[in-house]
A and B are shown apart, each in its own frame.
Chain A
Amino acid sequence: MRRRDFITLTGGSAAAWPLVASAQSPAQEPRRIAAMHNIQSENSEAFVQGLREAGYQYKNRSGDRP
């Protein structure tokens, strides 16, 4: 897969913002995950939902964006 294809279809850097999150699983140090999403905030929500399904607690550290 060419990287450019992927970036194109997920929205590209022009329309993306960083989402810095920490997710904590039991018996482990908190993890910090940086996620780039396009302008669709529902993508961020789905990603967080996926983390929850995998057993993580999620805290949004970006402060200003969902």
Chain B
Amino acid sequence: MKSLAHPGGNITGFHNYEPALGGKWLEVLKEVAPSVRRVPVVHVPEIAANVAFIRAAEASSKALGVTVMGAGVRDAADIESVLSDFAREPNGGLIVTPSPLTATRRDVIIATALRLNLPASYSFRFYAASGGLISYGIDQLETVREAASYVNRILRGENPANLPVQLPTKYQLIINLRTAKALGLRPSESFLQRADEVIE
């Protein structure tokens, strides 16, 4: 691909990667769970995009008074052992970066976080819908809907080389209030009003 504005080949589309979200996940976590001081970023080390999220979280950590550390995992057993070790000390939180592993095994992550009393930030709505405390990220469904419009234009004869790659524009903040209560957290009214969705 030559550039996002003029891809130049036979591929274009809508992409959903914004590394700065790493800092945002830490910010919203701290807002909902102010006592959090230590936050591991669960990621798959082989995924370069995951590592960029850690760097962004680190960049925001000092101003928020939080220590951020990478927590590499490769399977569900890793997730449980890494988090159990981490939770031996107090004031822990959690950031979970998006990957096939954390998406498919979110049941394990969410249950472990709850058991260990770790407030957690996630990337996409489905994590919060499954019981994760907070998600902040791109509206995937909107992106996929818009991708269909590109399919239509290409089927009607437009050249993908001339269709710019679209960057994410719409973000959504979601909080699972049931999980917040289970963790003993009381999100502020202003936070709840700012949220695009409050899952009861």
* Contacts from A to B (Cβ < 8 Å): 1-2, 4-6, 8-12, 14-15, 25, 31, 33, 37-40, 42-43, 46-51, 53-56
Contact = CB atoms under 8 A, between A and B. Distances in A.
Nearest to A56: B152
Interface stretch (B47-55, B61-69, B179-187): B47-55
14 contacts: A1-B15, A1-B165, A6-B13, A8-B17, A8-B50, A11-B100, A12-B100, A14-B104, A31-B155, A39-B103, A46-B141, A47-B144, A50-B146, A51-B151
Interface of B: 1, 4, 13, 15-17, 47-50, 98-100, 103-104, 126, 140-142, 144-149, 151-152, 155, 165
Secondary structure class of chain B's binding surface, majority of residues: helix
Contacts of A56: 152
B49 A4 contact: yes
Secondary structure class of chain A's binding surface, majority of residues: helix
Contacts of A9: 16-17, 49, 98
A42 B126 CA distance: 10
